[in-house]
């Protein structure tokens, strides 16, 4: 992909959602990302795939502010995206981790409430003197967390510790923590990792429901190795290899692309049967 000039800047301003233009990242003499461009529009599910070391997690870290690109631009709803990780939620962006990343010393409900604190209005002074608004905010956070757990089918586990739950349920709790702030963009980092077939089927149904979620849907940017899940849930797929985009298109186009088959798939992936 060629570098984007001034016309690209105007185009970015017209595009809602997340826009990446000619992103480049280098670690010493290693080029992790090279001229990567993509768009995650409202209501879309976009997958990012590629072999190990292709730059997928680095791309996520650029979006989240953990890694600063050496070149390129990012835009969020038409405005330049220059953020730090702790400010993401205020922009309407949430992320899950490859594992679960839950706090075992807190209950499931408390873990999810951590994700909702961005919407709390209480200031430090009010909390210090136990002002009435503190109680109201806590009730609101608790209610939002319980609604999210209920929507993911894990409300019964609200009072339990995460380490007492099966791995698949812990994954749901981690997802609830990301969703409770009602993000407009959800970054999912290998959500199918460690899950069995039945759990992946449920995950696919859940991901497809997110853009039309009651109370405000969200777009999804998905990094995943499980190709069956990718082909079932994604509207568009971007393929990275050695930090460069080697293909971009619908799951059907990607599945049959010779460059993708050679670099990553190794064989044609048959479409999933519903």
pLDDT at 158: 94
b/e map 94-106, b = 16+ CB within 10 Å: bbbeeebebeeee
pLDDT at 127: 46
Using the predicted structure, report yes or no on whether residue 66 has a pLDDT greater than 80: yes
How do residues 97-111 score in pLDDT, each as one tens digit? 776 788 899 999 999
Using the predicted structure, report yes or no on whether residue 188 has a pLDDT greater than 50: yes
pLDDT at 215: 65
Using the predicted structure, report yes or no on whether residue 263 has a pLDDT greater than 60: yes
Using the predicted structure, report yes or no on whether residue 82 has a pLDDT greater than 90: no
Identify the bridge partners of residue 24 per DSSP, sorted by sequence position.
71
Task: DSSP letter for 240, please.
Answer: E
Using the predicted structure, report yes or no on whether residue 70 has a pLDDT greater than 90: yes
**Under 8 Å CB-to-CB from 33, ≥6 apart: which residues?**
23, 24, 25, 55, 58, 59, 62, 69, 243
Q: Tell me which residue of 273, 231, 104, 226 sits closest to 174, measured CA to CA.
A: 104
pTM for the full model? 0.81
- Domain contains 162: yes
- Domain contains 268: no
Q: How many residues in total does the chain contain?
A: 274
CA–CA gap between residue 146 and residue 108 (Å, rounded) = 10
- Per the CB < 8 A criterion, the answer to whether 175 and 191 are in contact is yes
Domain that holds residue 153: 104-180
- Domain contains 237: no
- Domain contains 143: yes
Q: Which helix (H) or strand (E) holds 184?
A: none
Reduced to 3 states (helix: H, G, I; strand: E, B; else coil), residue 1 is coil
- Per the CB < 8 A criterion, the answer to whether 213 and 22 are in contact is no
- Domain contains 34: no
- Domain contains 210: no
Number of domains forming the structure of the chain: 1
pLDDT at 2: 32
CA distance readout (Å), 86 to 23, 64, 92, 102: 22, 9, 12, 17
- Domain contains 75: no
- Domain contains 156: yes
How do residues 109-122 score in pLDDT, each as one tens digit? 999 998 876 544 44
Mean of pLDDT over the chain: 83
Q: Tell me which residue of 187, 189, 202 sits closest to 94, measured CA to CA.
A: 187
């Amino acid at each position: 992909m060629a570098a984007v000039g001034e016309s690209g800047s105007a185009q970015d301003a017209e595009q809602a959602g997340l826009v990446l233009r000619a992103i480049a990242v280098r670690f010493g003499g290693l080029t992790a990302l090279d001229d990567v461009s993509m768009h995650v529009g409202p209501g879309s599910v976009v997958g990012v795939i590629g072999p190990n070391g292709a730059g997928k997690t680095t791309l996520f870290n650029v979006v989240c502010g953990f890694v600063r690109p050496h070149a390129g631009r990012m835009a969020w709803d038409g405005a330049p995206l220059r953020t730090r990780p702790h400010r993401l939620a205020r922009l309407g962006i949430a992320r899950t981790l490859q594992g679960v990343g839950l706090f075992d010393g807190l209950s499931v409900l408390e873990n999810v409430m951590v994700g909702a604190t961005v919407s709390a209005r209480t200031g430090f002074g009010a909390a210090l003197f136990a002002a009435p608004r503190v109680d109201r905010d806590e009730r609101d956070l608790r209610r939002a967390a319980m609604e999210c757990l209920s929507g993911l089918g894990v409300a019964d586990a609200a009072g339990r510790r995460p380490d007492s739950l099966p791995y698949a349920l812990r994954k749901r709790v981690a997802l609830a923590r990301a969703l409770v702030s009602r993000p407009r963009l959800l970054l999912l980092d290998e959500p199918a990792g460690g899950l069995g077939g039945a759990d992946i089927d449920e995950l696919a149904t859940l991901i497809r429901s997110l853009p039309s979620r009651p109370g405000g849907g969200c777009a999804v940017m998905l990094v995943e190795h499980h190709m069956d899940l990718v082909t079932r849930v994604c509207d568009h797929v971007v393929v990275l290899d050695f930090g460069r985009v080697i293909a971009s298109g619908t799951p059907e186009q990607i599945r049959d692309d010779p460059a993708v088959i050679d670099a990553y798939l190794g064989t044609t992936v048959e479409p999933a049967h519903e």
